[in-house]
Structure 1
């Protein structure tokens, strides 16, 4: 879920071009592959469930997924909370191919918009989440301040953030990983109170069938586009991030926060 403003960076290859190819691969393999593929990089079911339980959604509460990518997490949420929440899921995603694909894949309302400039009124959503977005932008407080604007007073925010608490020997182009301390400071400065926090490593991994379906989609994309420069750019980004996470230099943190 990129919040970069460049038209030519590897981030665009990863989050927009590959998103369009992912939609094509899902069409070939079937809709059962859609949510796992569209959640790639945005959270596993245990992570999404931990975040969902802190959103406090019920009835017809409106919900926002900012930096929604292909819409997989929002589609997963509508199924997970189907017995207690029937409200609209609103998606905002700056990458145009990804935003359009989310509408086609999951029939969810999606708009191409930056998280720093959401086309929503003040106090218009009961809860929101932001998954893997803050580590792709230098405008962290601007993003959080905009989310505070559109959330109702007392509204809940779920975050999945990749953090780096020590200097890195390498970094994927376009990523700016916060530290845990800077993340907490940005939330406080933007009007949020942190209610709960957990390291992603403390949660179970994704189910095997979930991983297999996502991998099957990736293999179709590789088969059809593996010689494309933008696929190679995106794959390089993933390899660098994978090394950083395997070494523990970059870690996943999940938080629940409330708009004060």
Structure 2
């Protein structure tokens, strides 16, 4: 999900979050439904990260969980399969919504995180995974997430956090907060941190999980490597990977509640 309005950011967001979602759904149709979850979760959380969020957010049968900026629906589908929760996915990219419906049959709404199409206090739980790093309006997005949560609700965040001043070569649509900026935005939005967890400290995904995601990526590459949008999306992933590997970025999980 991206709230950036610049032309470069818009083009990169479309390639990464919209077009690639449709190609991923095509690959899953060709390779088998067992490839859907690993492929659609790539970039939005490993099984260990999603389990941590589900446990902290008290997901279970009957829990309605909003996935704000849920992409192709992998995290929402994982929550439904592993906890029995009922997900509702709100995602600004229409192609990603179509992919989520196609792969998982999820209820999806095309909409942005800055104006969620839900009434206040509508959901017991909300996830916002990888979204804050795509907008400069960190506090505004968090405030809107706070609005749709019940007063006793839980929210789970996966955030790319800027660890150094050097983000040379970062994708145009990447706007990660620093740890201090994130804390200020949360406080301003009326959300209190209950728990934090670094993704790097969690167990790696099972080998078969990564292998299935890799097969989907290979299928997409074989069929679309000559498309400029594939090159843009792949280049963005590689740039973020380098920034993570060099310690300029970290991936943090947060469990937050309304104050």
Per the normalisation by structure 2, the TM-score is 0.96
| 1:128 and 1:157 in contact (8 A); partners too | yes
Aligned-partner Cα distance in 2 for 1:96–1:6: 19
Aligned-partner Cα distance in 2 for 1:63–1:29: 29
The match for 2:73 is 71
Unaligned runs of at least 5 residues, structure 1:
none
Aligned-partner Cα distance in 2 for 1:127–1:96: 23
Alignment partner of 1:9: what SS?
Answer: helix
What do the CA deviations read for 1:109-148 (whole angstroms, capped 9, x no partner)?
0011001111101100000010000001111111111111
RMSD between aligned alpha carbons? 1.2
The runs of at least 4 consecutive aligned structure 1 residues that moved more than 3 Å come to: 1-8
Unaligned runs of at least 5 residues, structure 2:
none
Aligned-partner Cα distance in 2 for 1:59–1:16: 30
| 1:6 and 1:12 in contact (8 A); partners too | no
Once the two structures are TM-superposed, the CA of residue 167 in structure 1 deviates from its matched residue by: 1.1
What do the CA deviations read for 1:41-67 (whole angstroms, capped 9, x no partner)?
001000111111111234422210000
The match for 2:195 is 196
| 1:3 and 1:67 in contact (8 A); partners too | no
Aligned-partner Cα distance in 1 for 2:3–2:201: 27
What do the CA deviations read for 1:210-244 (whole angstroms, capped 9, x no partner)?
10000100001000000101111111111111110
What do the CA deviations read for 1:124-180 (whole angstroms, capped 9, x no partner)?
000001000000111111111111110000210000001112112321111001111
Greater alpha carbon shift after TM alignment, 164-173 vs 32-41: 164-173
Per the normalisation by structure 1, the TM-score is 0.95
What do the CA deviations read for 1:14-57 (whole angstroms, capped 9, x no partner)?
11011111110110001000011001100100011111111123
Task: Say yes or no: does 1:129 pair with 2:127.
Answer: yes
The match for 1:12 is 14
| 1:102 and 1:110 in contact (8 A); partners too | yes
The match for 1:23 is 25
